Amino acid sequence: MPYMYILECSDRSFYVGSTRDLDYRVAQHNYGEGSEYTFTRRPVRLAYFEEYERMDDAFQREKQVQGWSRAKRIALIAGDVDALPALSKKPRR
């Protein structure tokens, strides 16, 4: 089953990815084999994930969430879906 996932790194930053095997991929990140970004930010913990029918859909969602602000990612992780639209709007000057 394909997944989009968010990891929280040891420096409290987030990493967004997609995979077909969630447990294995999180273990890879913690062993230093996951990505260059997480290699120096271990250990990581799984903060959030979504399950998809197709890998293409999980990858598209990964790219979408990668473009989000930290605040919007935190709202998603917390399950505060009502806050997501407001966090998408750019502040007015």
Does residue 13 contact residue 57 with C-beta atoms inside 8 Å? no
pLDDT given for residue 88 in this prediction: 82
Query: Domain with 50 in it: what CATH number?
Result: 3.40.1440.10
Residue 58, in any domain of the structure: yes
Number of domains in the chain: 1
Q: At residue 48, what is the residue type?
A: Y
Q: Is residue 93 part of a domain?
A: no
Tell me if 78 is assigned to some domain: yes
Residue carrying structure tokens 């290699």: 39
- The CA distance from 38 to 32, in Å, is 7
- Residue 29 placed within a domain: yes
Predicted confidence pLDDT, tens digits, the chain (93 residues): 999 999 999 999 999 999 999 999 999 999 999 899 999 999 999 999 999 999 999 999 999 999 999 999 999 999 999 999 988 876 666
DSSP 43: S
Q: Decide: 3 and 49 in contact? Cβ < 8 Å.
A: yes
Distance CA 12, CA 55 (A): 27
Domain of residue 69: give its range. 3-88
